[in-house]
Amino acid sequence: MSSVVAPTSIRTSAPNDVLAVEVKDLRKEFRRRDRKAGRFARRRMPALKGVSFTMQRGECVAILGQNGSGKSTLVRLLSTLLISDGGEARIFGHDAFRETRAVQRLVNRVSVEASFFKKMSASENLSYAARFYGMGPAQTRTEIPRILERVGFPADRRSESMENLSRGMQQKVALARALLTSPVLLLLDEPTTGLDPRSKLEVQEFIKEVRVEHDATILLCTHDMLEAESLADRVGLLDRGELLFLEPVDDVKRRYGVATLEEAFFAATGREFEAEGSEDDEIREVFG
């Protein structure tokens, strides 16, 4: 099996002696229409309430949380798509809100929605994404087939429109898009939500391989507790914008004296864990 490590010419460099991710007291809130209070009234909806954590280079951390817990907001803040209301976020020492260009070179993301130009093919979509990272046609001509083969995408479907591909296939292309730019920090925001069991396993296996073969730090946001347990070194619980814990799974179970993460969630919050749909549904409502 070939390696997913990209050619040296396009690999981004990140210092070894700094934390991969350093988040301190990170806060974010959105305003939502409040019709009960008046036609133009808005009320504040806190999405993150002073979240702090760090990640070492090469580490895989899973953040668990229900819909609306703030997982996607965290990912968007770290990928420079949102501006915080307070606190700090550093990616390999770079301020995520002031040194955005440096951060953007180090980070890529796979979200729950495999967003592509539906009429364009997998190769064309990857080519478009790669250009933004300075990869010219000579590089993508060889790299795109290689990375698509690596994620198990059939060679004979590379030129097919994305709209004709299954959800699982699209998510593989999304993974390929993220890896094509050789990120040193990979943000996975519910990458397996909505996939059939087989595709889900394939994507999870691929994430494991990426960890082993690729010099990447992974932040995985999910509401799948088994996925978190099988992929991550440490597991955190984000609940209503607060990070309740972030430690190895065994330590979590020991701390609460429970056998499963689901029981740990109940012990930590006093509520049942209901993993339904995507957090984006909740965010959409908040943004409305």
Partner 1 sequence: MTAVAATLRSELIGLGGIVERNIYLTKRYFLWDLAFMVWTIANTLTIVFIARAVHVSAAEENRLATSLLVGAVIWAFLGIIFEFVTETVAWERWEGTIEYTFMAPLSRSMHLFGMGAFAVLYGLIRATILFFVVAAFIGIHMPDANYLAAFALLAIASFSFIGIGMMTSVLPLISPEKGAQLGFVMQGMMLVVSGVYYPVSVMPQWMQEISKISPATYALRGDRAAIVHGAGLAWADVWPLLIIAVVAIPLGLAIFKRGERYAKQHGKLKRSG
Residues at the contact surface with partner 1, assessed by CB under 8 A: 30-31, 73, 76, 79-83, 101, 104-105, 107-109, 111, 113, 115-120, 124, 127-136, 161, 177, 280, 283-284, 286-288
Identity of the residue, 66 or 127, whose beta carbon is nearer to partner 1 in the bound complex: 127
Cβ closer to partner 1: 10 or 275?
A: 10
CA distance 44 to 186: 30
Burial 255-273 (b: 16+ CB within 10 A, else e): ebebebbebbbeebeeeeb
- Nearest approach in angstroms of CB 98 to partner 1 is 13
Shortest distance (Å) from residue 6 CB to partner 1: 15
**Nearest-approach distance from CB 260 to partner 1, in angstroms:** 33
From the CB of 132, what's the least distance to partner 1, in Å? 4
Query: Cβ 86 to partner 1, closest distance in Å?
Result: 12
Smaller CB separation from partner 1, 80 or 269: 80
Hey, how many other C-beta atoms are within 10 angstroms of the C-beta on 19? 18
- CB nearer to partner 1: pick between 119 and 255: 119
Q: How far is the CB of 287 from partner 1 (least distance, A)?
A: 5
Pick from 24, 87, 86, 21: nearest CA to 221 = 21
CB neighbourhood size of 13 (10 A): 10
**C-alpha distance from residue 148 to each of 5, 156, 175 (Å):** 13, 11, 9
Residues in Cβ contact with 15 at an 8 Å cutoff, skipping those fewer than 6 apart? 92, 93
Q: Which tokens belong to 204?
A: 């999870």
For residues 282 and 173, give the distance between their C-alpha atoms in angstroms, rounded to a whole number: 25
**Tokens for 225?**
């507790």
Residue 25's Cβ-side half-sphere holds a number of Cα atoms within 13 Å equal to: 3
Contact between 89 and 259 (Cβ < 8 Å): no
CB 83 to partner 1: min, Å: 5
